[in-house]
Amino acid sequence: MTNILQESQIEQDREPIRMLGISGSLRKASFNTGLLRAAQEIVPDWVDFKIFDIRDIPFYDGDLEAEGDPASVVALKAAIQNAESVVFATPEYNWGTSGVLKNAIDWASRDRTEGSLMGKPVTIIGAGGRAGTARAQMQLLETLGETGSLVMVKPGLQVMAFSDQQFDREGNLIGETTRELLENHLDALVKWTMQIVRPMNSSPTPVRWTRRQRGYRCQTVEATGLPSCDLDSASTYVVRQAHHERIWREN
């Protein structure tokens, strides 16, 4: 399958794709924040990848919320609103995600307006012990499901941070295989994002209709060979999930 990150055609045709990375670790030399920094290096110019630091987000408190969102929460919600997709990089603490990340998602989930986590393409990655944060990712998958986020389930990325010297002392990713897997993951996320957020029928790029099924139209963009769907907003969630499953079966 085409590696879209290497497709110069996309660069000419599109506004930059806006992605946001959120790390669940506050540690300076965090492996998970290191994964997000590596993602920033990997993506081409036409992907604008920003990292949001959640360290200033207070504990969720309904009374605090009733007084008006704290500035850090306003900033978090705005960053998510502005992003077309979000990458959550989670550590694993006692088989779960970190408290700070769950807390940030709880705040973010209170925004149900257009552009919030509801209906937002997201993915989960993580670096940790021998399970590569698989158990923390499972927990996060459930949480993000409840927020209405459209989680890209495959390909996954679970990094065993302590083996084979994947990171240096500052938390920078140095493992070449992991870098390749991360690139592959980001490539899939760009496709996942475009399929959901930028239906190709609104693009000036020439398209060719390929099928009509389950009440939505799918087309292939000739420049990229990528499928894209004209989504019915009334049944967005179900349709998107069905579409997601179909795309991955076909690939």
Ligand X SMILES: Cc1cc2nc3c(=O)[nH]c(=O)nc-3n(C[C@H](O)[C@H](O)[C@H](O)COP(=O)(O)O)c2cc1C
Question: What are the residues binding ligand X (CB under 6 A)?
Answer: 25, 27, 30-32, 91-95, 128-129, 131, 161
CB nearer ligand X, residue 121 or residue 128: 128
Name 49's bridge partners: 19
Report the residue number, 32 or 109, with the smaller CB distance to ligand X.
32
Shortest CB 129 distance to ligand X, Å: 2
DSSP assignment of 75-139 equals HHHHHHHH-SEEEEE---BTTB--HHHHHHHHHHTT--STTSSTT-EEEEEEEESTTTTHHHHHH
DSSP letter assigned to residue 154: S
Task: State in angstroms the smallest separation of the CB of 149 from ligand X.
Answer: 21
Sequence-ordered list of residues with C-beta below 8 angstroms from that of 215, at least 6 positions apart, any chain: 232, 235, 239
What's the min distance (Å) between Cβ of 55 and ligand X? 12
Structure tokens at 161: 């941070």
Question: How far apart are the C-alpha atoms of 198 and 203, rounded to whole Å?
Answer: 8
Q: Which residue is nearest to ligand X (CB)?
A: 129
Task: Specify the residue, 91 or 175, whose C-beta has the smaller distance to ligand X.
Answer: 91
**Considering beta carbons, is residue 31 or 107 the nearer one to ligand X?**
31
Smallest separation (angstroms) from ligand X to the CB of 23: 7
